[in-house]
Copies of this chain bind each other. A is one copy, B any other.
Amino acid sequence: MLGTDTRILIVGLGLIGGSYAEGLKKVGFEVGAVTRSQKTLDYALEKGIIDSGTIEVTREYVSRFDIVVFALYPHVFLSWIRDYQDFIKPGALLTDVTGVKRAVVYEVQGMLRPDLEFVGAHPMAGREVYGVENADCGIFEGANYIVTPTEANTEAAVRTCEDLGRALGFGCISRLSPEHHDEMIGFLSQLTHCIAVALMNSKESHHLVDFTGDSFRDLTRIARINDGMWSELFMLNRDELLSQMDLFAEKFGELRDALEAGDTDKMRGMMRISTERRGYFDKRK
């Protein structure tokens, strides 16, 4: 359970880690941080985003915290657990912010000390900017926070993890299995990023800038992408994303073939389906 004396350690002070730190400190928790850069640490201390921090991972520092939140690239997160889990306080709760879950949750739970518990979480918030300098806990307001419990988790730990999301001001907190999470994120986020990237790659579009309307801008906003992070997330959700890409390519091909064949009925049918389905997304907005 979260209490006023709960000490929270954020490992990784990027945009999300920094925003977690800021938000949790704001509501009264003692917040510490581990980061690799002295500059980042100095900035976070100076701005009052954290209470304390270190660039050296030591047992003395890490063992002070009751909850550890990992806001790292997936492969860095997994190495950290391998290298430093011995430093963590017995009975501590671990959670994360990683955008894919199957590849991370089962891996971490499989190697964790039996007296520690890891509950996966995915705060569905982000910006097209990076780094602690852009940290802003306002990005969580109204956003989705998904917890991905497994059979290895206790109800108490899952609830604490949900409370963390509540403390950060998320608008909608829900539970999904790692499998359902990865299917959902594959469709709603990864596939759409793939589409935007492929679209921007298909034409040298500089000469079209003056004619661009809102729909193209909206559709390609996410074409500005952190290639290191996204390629890693894609690889860690490869099977699911590939199957979604294939499904999309099939439907896109059907529309293309209907156009080539002059099959207006088929085109109109697909447009009516898309209009109807898109309607769901407006109603709940």
A interface, CB within 8 angstroms of B: 124-125, 143-144, 146, 172, 174, 176, 184, 187-189, 191-206, 208-213, 215-225, 227-228, 230-232, 234-235, 238, 241-242, 244-256, 259-260, 262, 264, 267-268, 270-275, 277-282, 284-285
Contact B195 A227 (CB under 8 A): no
Q: How many copies does the complex hold?
A: 2
- Which B residues are CB-close (under 8 A) to A275? 223-225, 227
Contact A274 B144 (CB under 8 A): no
Q: Name the distance in Å between A190's Cβ and chain B's nearest Cβ.
A: 10
- Which B residues are CB-close (under 8 A) to A228? 268
- Which B residues are CB-close (under 8 A) to A196? 219, 274, 278
Task: Identify which of B227, B281, B285 contacts A267 (C-beta below 8 A).
Answer: B227
- Which B residues are CB-close (under 8 A) to A246? 256
Task: Identify which of B184, B251, B260 contacts A238 (C-beta below 8 A).
Answer: B260
Q: Name the distance in Å between A247's Cβ and chain B's nearest Cβ.
A: 4
Task: Identify which of B221, B249, B252 contacts A215 (C-beta below 8 A).
Answer: B221
Query: Quick one: which of A176, A195, A241 has the most chain B CB within 10 A?
Result: A195
Contact A248 B202 (CB under 8 A): yes
Contact A264 B235 (CB under 8 A): yes
